[in-house]
Amino acid sequence: DAEITQSPRHKITETGRQVTLACHQTWNHNNMFWYRQDLGHGLRLIHYSYGVQDTNKGEVSDGYSVSRSNTEDLPLTLESAASSQTSVYFCASSESGPGGRDEQYFGPGTRLTVT
């Protein structure tokens, strides 16, 4: 069955370290998204991609970067982790175009703690 996976599921890191969160989908979807979810803020869009080599900034992109070298993967990098980036991170994917329902399918999330 097609799915979307995230790794690691839990991560503890120190302030200032570079961290990369992986997202892999097997639906062959064009669109991929990264969100963070925090109490009191809901889901906020960090970065998104509409296809290979395409990346765009979302609402809360400062301190984060992404790259899309193939259809299946959109890794999220925290360049220099800060305590304010402690959060739960969700990856999602969707299809667009004729016949596409454009429903976003979410991964299970990565719980990141920056100490």
Binding residues (CB under 8 A) for another protein: these are 31, 33, 40-45, 48, 50, 58, 90, 92, 94, 96, 101-109
Closest approach of another protein to the CB of residue 60, in Å: 13
Q: Would you say 85 or 110 has its CB closer to another protein? A: 110
Tokens of 64: 């984060």
For residue 46, give the nearest of 10, 20, 76 by alpha carbon.
76
Q: State the Cα–Cα distance between residues 31 and 71, nearest whole angstrom.
A: 9
Q: Distance between alpha carbon 47 and the CA centroid of its chain, in Å?
A: 7
Q: Would you say 14 or 62 has its CB closer to another protein? A: 62
Closest approach of another protein to the CB of residue 87, in Å: 14
For residue 3, give the nearest of 32, 22, 26 by alpha carbon.
26
Q: Would you say 85 or 94 has its CB closer to another protein? A: 94
